[in-house]
Structure 1
Amino acid sequence: MFSRCVPTVLATAILLVPQSMAAAEDRATFPAAMEAFARRALVRTEAVPGMAVAVVDGQGAIYTGGFGVADVQTGAPVDADTRFYIASATKSVTALAVASLAARGEIDLEAPLSRWSPASGVPAEIADRITLTDLLSHRSGVDNSPIAFRAAFSGDWTPELMWRLTDQTQPREGGAYGAFAYSNAGYNLATVLLEQARGQDWRALVRDEVLGPLGMTETTAFIDEARASGEAVATGHLGLIAGATARSPLQKTDATMQSAGGLISTAHDMALWLEAQINDGRVGGRQALPAGLVASTHAARVSQDTTFGEYVRTGYGLGWQVGRYRDNVLIHHFGNFSGSRAHVSFMPERGLGVAVMVNEDAVAGELADLVANYAYDWFAGLPDIDAVYDAKLDELAARRDRRRAGLAAGLKSRAQRPRTLSLPDAAYVGDYVSLAYGTMSVRPADGRLILSIGVQSAVAENYTDPESLRVELTPLAGEVVAFNLGADGRPAALVYDGERFVRR
């Protein structure tokens, strides 16, 4: 769409210059432009403490670097080795690992689940039809909320429990077989079944099939391992109040790192990952993964017609969104979770890729996309790019302010709600059990009730419905907990996310 502006008299001469030389000039001048923009971006958006960036072409990394701080409390600076949680961008890695097994003939991506996992609890009418490709491309039409919830949110699980919970697989509400419907559950179910069949969990699978061969030594599925590296680990933050960005109350633990969103990585390793995508498994001049394997995951397995910000999405492959940015094919996957946001993308036709990771996602997480777009537009020669993107930063800052105002207004409004519980708080205190979801505890603290399930915990607020409370077990995701009174007039159960938890 754009081209770098040059005097007309030089046109003929430039045609005689090898493209590699022109590319070399861009590679040399881009880092300074990116650093200047990234620093302006952090100052202008204010809410985001830190950011790491990797920009890559077929020759390898053009730029890797970091800005700001990994944690507002420690003040540790961000650099290219700082560990960031990449959330759902993990799906691309998991899917490639599974595809690697298939390429060696260990599994068949197109075989129904019942053929290779006959002892699972997945109902026969589902297991006889859906395949690993269906699960990894979000076209299976099924869901398993208990497995997905325990894996990503509560962290209350064991391999044996997850295997038993395969019997909770059911048709997805509002979904249909063959239609795209994004969900963590497909990845979680696929890796639970594969672990039982092969005796290897998803962490070892991605390590052996992908991270090891590509030399991604700074990427891990273990929070504790990242902390032991000696490098800074970016903490998720919420920038809800101007000038007072704070740690999110919900942080990832080893127990909630899961196959649909459970990797921590760095700008350096994301550069290797993108180089492998652009070069079909080649990194640093060596064929690290079999030719054809990486490219096979980019092909759409299901269609969609959606947009996300400035991106058009037309399909989904194995762990990758397929779409366009401006006039260019963009293969991409993003991720977010409670104060963390990741953008990972590449343009196969231009041989260019970008990864941006930020540690705030309440009011300004789309900064990751904005920085990535800056890189793509810079190499495309967008005229007046800095003026254009400074205006975009102003727009982002305005959206940030509107979000903060909306969140503050919501908090003020909710504070006026009357109490709708009919009994004293002490009457609701106890443990409430769901065999599928686990145990939700209700405890008193400083004159209020605290509800917790696994690693999640929240102070309850009043809600408008009778016998109900509002909680944010995941920050900014308001949910309702409704108590059911028994024949004796005391709480006998509660309902959360449509599931009934019986008082113990």
Structure 2
Amino acid sequence: MSSRRLFLAGGMAALRPRRASAQEDPVLADHLRALMVQHRVPAASVALIRNGALAERVTPGADPDTLFQAASISKVVAGQVILHLVDRGDIDLDRPVNDVLRSWKLPGTQAAAVTPRLLLGHRAGTNVPGFPGYMGGAPLPDLRQILDGASPANTPAVRVEWEPGRAFRYSGGGTMVLQQLAIDVARRTFAALAADLVLKPAAMSRSSFAQPLPRSESNAASAHDLEGRPLPGKFHVYPELAAAGLWSSATDLARLALAISASWRDGAMLSRPLARTMAHRLADGPSGLGIFVQPQSGRAPLLYHYGVNAGFRSVLTFVADGSFGLALMTNGEGGRALIPAFCGGIFAANGQGSVPPID
């Protein structure tokens, strides 16, 4: 019998709610360790949410404070930054971004139709789906060089290549436009905005957009390939902060989910109406505003985002009302197979619906 079938057959009862404080569940830990061996993942960290609180943490090969690259889950934080600026009246979701951008303009013949709402929902027609990162010690581009595709940037210039609003096209490049918009509107660095508007209010004390990490940070996971071999230089550096630059822990990502859920229920970091708008799909695409949305009949929607950086795979998924959720971070390419296998068992054990699509 496979490890997953053993887990489902013998471990479900042990994984149902029974504790008020976040502790390590031995059944959960054993199942995760088995998957880590199977998929050659050296370290993983998971935090479970039940009934609006952090319920359990399991961190084989790491500890609760170990940092992992959150990769594209960075976009969830970036989305919260933008929506906070919307809430306070600094950004209009439907005003063309080129009307507001000061230090740079989005190129493309149809760029005048691009709005923050379309960028948050990956419907702006912008290019550059993702970023490969840079080897440690390599020259790093600044934001303008990233947007213009100028050396030493290793990705093309961000521009509008398809009709805005027409279709969902995942675009990390579009998220970098939002980073520039936040900076131009607030006249502060993106890292400072994210810290003050999201990380601190959500009590994400182990999270930052430090790229590269300071030498003083000694508790960060190293990246590994599909065979479990460490990547040269420990990990890549991602100066594309809003799209891929967040360092975090599973516990902190769970705290982010709880803060977003509090907004959805009652208004917290965001006003309740805007949080409800965020958690509603745009047109026929899978995304709301800065986060993916899976509607659930008769209950709050499931919100989620995956993260893929070189040698790191992660997922954050939670019911919008905070009744259930999990953050799972891994430091190996084998996380691509580990994550859906682990999530499938946890979702089933907790009476949840289907697991959201995970890259």
Same fold, TM exceeding 0.5? yes
Unaligned runs of 5+ in 1: 6-21, 69-77, 305-314, 383-504
> d(CA) in 2 for partners of 1:188 and 1:330?
25
Counterpart position of 2:188? 200
Cα 1:289/1:41, change in 2 over 3 Å: same
Cα 1:55/1:171, change in 2 over 3 Å: same
> d(CA) in 2 for partners of 1:139 and 1:118?
22
How far does residue 151 in structure 1 lie from its aligned partner after superposition? Answer: 7.4
> d(CA) in 2 for partners of 1:85 and 1:28?
22
Aligned pairs (5 A) from 1:13-28: 23-24=17-18
How far does residue 368 in structure 1 lie from its aligned partner after superposition? Answer: 1.9
**When the two structures are superposed, what TM-score results if normalisation uses the length of structure 2?**
0.79
Counterpart position of 1:121? 105
> d(CA) in 1 for partners of 2:140 and 2:132?
5
> d(CA) in 2 for partners of 1:131 and 1:321?
18
Alignment partner of 1:300 is 2:281? yes
Counterpart position of 2:35? 41
Aligned pairs (5 A) from 1:75-224: 78-117=62-101, 120-123=104-107, 125-143=109-127, 156-162=140-146, 168-172=157-161, 177-223=165-211
How far does residue 300 in structure 1 lie from its aligned partner after superposition? Answer: 1.4
Give the residue type in structure 1 aligned to 2:70.
I
Give the residue type in structure 2 aligned to 1:49.
P
Alignment partner of 1:234 is 2:206? no
Counterpart position of 1:259? 242
Cα 1:162/1:65, change in 2 over 3 Å: same
CA root-mean-square deviation = 3.6
- Find the residue that maps to 2:73 and give its secondary structure: helix
Deviations 1:168-214 (A, max 9, x none): 543326x6643100011100122123323432222122111100111
**When the two structures are superposed, what TM-score results if normalisation uses the length of structure 1?**
0.58
Higher relative contact order by CA 8 Å / sep ≥ 6: 1 or 2? 2
Counterpart position of 2:357? none
Q: What is the aligned-residue identity percentage? A: 23
> d(CA) in 1 for partners of 2:197 and 2:263?
15
Counterpart position of 1:51? 44
Report which of the two structures shows the higher radius of gyration computed on alpha carbons. Answer: 1
> d(CA) in 2 for partners of 1:28 and 1:187?
33
Alignment partner of 1:64 is 2:57? yes
Return the structure number with greater strand share: 1
Counterpart position of 1:478? none
How far does residue 288 in structure 1 lie from its aligned partner after superposition? Answer: 5.0
> d(CA) in 2 for partners of 1:60 and 1:288?
15
How far does residue 302 in structure 1 lie from its aligned partner after superposition? Answer: 3.7
Alignment partner of 1:377 is 2:348? yes
Give the residue type in structure 1 aligned to 2:221.
A
Conservation of the 8 A alpha-carbon contact between 1:140 and 1:177 = yes
- Find the residue that maps to 2:169 and give its secondary structure: coil
> d(CA) in 2 for partners of 1:150 and 1:28?
35
Give the residue type in structure 1 aligned to 2:280.
A
> d(CA) in 2 for partners of 1:200 and 1:25?
42
1:353 paired residue among 312, 316, 325: 325
> d(CA) in 2 for partners of 1:291 and 1:254?
34
Unaligned runs of 5+ in 2: 1-7, 10-15, 151-155, 354-359
- Find the residue that maps to 1:142 and give its secondary structure: coil
